[in-house]
């Protein structure tokens, strides 16, 4: 482990030559931020990533690292924007491993936001860059399942909409019996309560599954068996 750390440190030190002072200090900030992230000190890590971005505005890696940190503290909207910035800065030298990681984490953030179609799009791109990524495969299947449930729930709401209820009432033979009206109201209320219970149960299951996905992502980085430094879902490319 010590040898690997020294080799990585020496490599980055060697690559500092020829860089501007801003680029050198930005890389130092990122290195410090990465260490803080691994310790769970997310707020201080974000501060350092922001400072690095003020010096290097076109770094996929910095946008990605900061986005991943935002997911860890629940700021998924901001995280998605940062992942989009990371993708906007892809170039010919961006490895498939990095692309896979960016799309995967963006997909997880969108799952948490219940944007399942968006998550599916991200996870498909993740698998394009790494077809063997089991995490992306599982997350993709989960997103597809939740999207189908979302569509079914939406269809159920449409069938029980007030306009349709009025139409059905108008088609009745003009019965103005107050007891019937009260019964109709009770049935509608019961239907609404059932739908609300279904949504609550679905929300609880969704939150539980999302928590497991996020915990899996965090545990992957902390896994004691992974002694080399990692970048998101994959190792940090040495060409950065």
Q: What is the pLDDT of residues 173-204, one digit of tens each?
A: 444 555 555 555 544 444 444 344 444 444 45
Q: Is the pLDDT of residue 109 over 50?
A: yes
Per-residue confidence at 87, pLDDT binned at 50, 70, 90? very high
For the whole model, what pTM was predicted? 0.61
Q: Please report whether residue 203 resides in a domain.
A: no
pLDDT at 16: 41
Q: What is the mean pLDDT of residues 124-145?
A: 95
Q: Is the pLDDT of residue 206 over 60?
A: no
Of residues 235 and 149, more confidently modeled: 149
Q: Please report whether residue 192 resides in a domain.
A: no
Q: What is the mean pLDDT of residues 4-16?
A: 32
pLDDT at 163: 57
Of residues 62 and 15, more confidently modeled: 62
Per-residue confidence at 156, pLDDT binned at 50, 70, 90? confident
Q: Please report whether residue 180 resides in a domain.
A: no
Neighbouring CB atoms inside 10 A of 199's CB total: 13
Q: What percent of the chain has pLDDT over 90?
A: 46
Torsion of CA 130, 133, 136, 142, to 10 degrees: 140
52 is in which domain, residue-wise? 2-141+217-235
pLDDT at 230: 34
Of residues 81 and 202, more confidently modeled: 81
Q: In this structure, are residues 83 and 60 in contact, taking their beta carbons and an 8 Å threshold?
A: no
pLDDT at 62: 92
Q: Is the pLDDT of residue 211 over 70?
A: no
Half-sphere exposure of 72 toward its Cβ, with a 13 Å CA cutoff? Answer: 22
Q: Please report whether residue 200 resides in a domain.
A: no
Q: Please report whether residue 47 resides in a domain.
A: yes
pLDDT at 193: 46
Spatial separation of the C-alpha atoms in residues 104 and 139, rounded to whole Å: 9
From 41-55, 120-134, 189-203, the region with the lowest mean pLDDT: 189-203
Q: Is the pLDDT of residue 217 over 50?
A: no
Q: Please report whether residue 185 resides in a domain.
A: no
Q: What is the mean pLDDT of the chain?
A: 72
pLDDT at 22: 83
**CATH code for the domain of 134:** 1.25.40.10
Q: Please report whether residue 73 resides in a domain.
A: yes
Count: domains in the chain: 1
pLDDT at 89: 94
Torsion of CA 78, 48, 56, 74, to 10 degrees: -10
Q: What is the mean pLDDT of residues 85-104?
A: 94
Neighbouring CB atoms inside 10 A of 181's CB total: 12
Q: What would the two tokens of residue 53 be?
A: 């971005």
Of residues 119 and 233, more confidently modeled: 119
pLDDT at 23: 86
Q: Please report whether residue 66 resides in a domain.
A: yes
């Amino acid at each position: 482990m010590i040898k690997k750390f020294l080799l990585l440190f020496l490599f980055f030190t060697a690559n500092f030559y020829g860089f501007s002072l801003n680029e050198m200090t930005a890389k130092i900030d990122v290195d410090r931020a990465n260490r803080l992230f691994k310790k769970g000190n997310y707020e201080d890590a974000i501060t350092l990533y922001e400072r690095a971005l003020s010096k290097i505005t076109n770094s996929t890696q910095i946008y990605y690292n900061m986005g991943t940190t935002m997911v860890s503290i629940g700021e998924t909207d901001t995280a998605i924007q940062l992942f989009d910035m990371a993708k906007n800065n892809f170039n010919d030298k961006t490895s498939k491993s990095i692309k896979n990681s960016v799309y995967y984490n963006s997909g997880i953030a969108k799952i948490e936001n219940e944007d399942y179609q968006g998550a599916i799009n991200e996870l498909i791109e993740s698998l394009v860059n790494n077809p063997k990524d089991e995490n992306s495969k599982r997350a993709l299947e989960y997103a597809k399942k939740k999207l189908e449930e979302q569509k079914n729930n939406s269809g159920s709401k449409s069938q029980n909409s007030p306009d349709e209820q009025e139409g059905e009432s108008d088609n009745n033979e003009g019965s103005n019996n107050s007891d019937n009206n009260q019964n109709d109201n009770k049935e509608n209320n019961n239907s609404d309560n059932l739908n609300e219970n279904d949504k609550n149960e679905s929300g609880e299951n969704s939150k539980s599954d999302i928590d497991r996905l996020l915990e899996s992502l965090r545990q992957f980085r902390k896994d004691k068996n992974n002694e080399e430094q990692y970048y998101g879902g994959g190792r940090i490319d040495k060409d950065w």
